[in-house]
């Protein structure tokens, strides 16, 4: 098995910064890359903000925060990631974008570097096929928000080697995470179950069965969910929800996975949820207000 000492994270958004956060707390040196220095800086600021929250809540102490911050370095050029023992891609949930990253990174990799994708739905086998090392390629699907959620889904592609799998499991456990093994089918386990539920809640709204508020209240109090499905969709990002539903619909050819037209309409409008200020709730005021 590979002895991982340094980790590259490609993508400094919410997921990438969260992964860098927990990896640095786990004692690894981290290189954080994105398409611009502004995005990297924003990711580093978000990491510091979230680490500070953990200090305030007594989850970690100031010394642990300072050590974690010191371990994370910006990587302005993608090729810098090639020097790490493990490179984790955490870019947008778009297959072509992810493939282009792995194609560009491959010439710069060390012989033992393991490649991982944080994809929440896309085939690991297909992503691995564009690299020079499908046997050293694996899915590491962290849950959002990464510092709080305990699970990492481990997904093997058809060519993933046993040493790569064991290294990935041990790495996730070293971060204090619990692992669940998923086969390389569309959306794996969590999103195969969760995202169609959100899509069904959107159909329930679309068909006039209930309002946004009624649907979320019903599921919180009637099914003991901590967050209603429409609120959860806004939290995940409605563009990501739509992307996962399209992967399921196209990959499994089953009409039960057809994305709700209202979901498509919201994404076309740019109402993507919390990150854009509006989704099934409007977040621009003092408190969220349903948009339907």
Catalytic residues: 120, 141, 153, 191
Longest dimension (CA), the chain: 56
Residue 286 exposed, middle or buried by CB count within 10 Å (0-12, 13-18, 19+): exposed
**Cα distance between residue 41 and residue 12, in whole Å:** 8
Query: Which residues touch 153 (CB under 8 Å, ≥6 apart)?
Result: 139, 140, 141, 179, 180, 181, 182, 188, 189, 190
What H or E segment, with its residue span, contains residue 137? strand 137-142
Shortest CA distance to 86 belongs to which of 151, 5, 142? Answer: 5
> What is the spatial distance between Cα 44 and Cα 72, in angstroms, rounded to a whole number?
8
DSSP-assigned beta bridge partners for residue 140: 154
Phi, psi of 9, rounded to the nearest 5 degrees: -120, 125
Query: Which residues face 73 on adjacent strands?
Result: 31
Do the Cβ atoms of 146 and 22 come closer than 8 Å?
yes
Distance of CA 67 to the CA centre of its chain: 24
With CA atoms as reference, report the closest residue to 248 among 229, 263, 234, 231. Answer: 263
């Amino acid at each position: 098995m590979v002895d991982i000492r340094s980790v590259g994270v490609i993508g400094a958004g919410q997921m990438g910064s969260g992964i860098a956060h927990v990896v640095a707390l786990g004692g690894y040196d981290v290189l954080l890359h994105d398409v611009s220095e502004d995005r990297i800086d924003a990711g580093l600021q978000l990491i510091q903000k979230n680490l500070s929250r953990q200090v305030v809540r007594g989850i970690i102490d100031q010394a642990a925060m300072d050590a974690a911050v010191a371990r994370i370095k910006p990587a302005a050029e993608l090729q810098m990631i090639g020097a790490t023992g493990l490179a984790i891609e955490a870019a947008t949930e778009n297959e072509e974008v992810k493939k282009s990253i792995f194609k560009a990174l491959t010439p710069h990799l060390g012989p033992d570097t393991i490649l991982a994708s944080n994809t929440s739905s896309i085939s690991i086998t297909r992503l691995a096929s564009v690299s020079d090392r499908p046997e050293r390629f694996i899915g590491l699907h962290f849950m959002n928000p990464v510092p709080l959620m305990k699970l990492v889904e481990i997904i093997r592609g058809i060519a993933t080697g046993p040493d790569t799998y064991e290294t990935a499991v041990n790495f996730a456990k070293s971060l204090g995470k619990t692992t669940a093994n998923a086969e390389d089918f569309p959306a794996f386990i969590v999103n195969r179950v969760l995202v169609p539920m959100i899509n069904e809640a959107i159909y329930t709204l679309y068909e006039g069965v209930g309002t946004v508020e009624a649907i979320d209240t019903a599921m919180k109090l009637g099914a003991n969910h901590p967050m209603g499905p429409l609120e959860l969709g806004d939290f995940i990002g409605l563009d990501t929800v739509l992307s996962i539903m399209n992967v399921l619909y196209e990959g499994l050819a089953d009409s039960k996975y057809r994305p709700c037209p209202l979901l498509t309409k919201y994404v076309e409008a740019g109402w993507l949820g919390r990150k854009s200020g509006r989704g099934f709730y409007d977040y621009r005021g003092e408190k969220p207000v349903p948009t339907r």
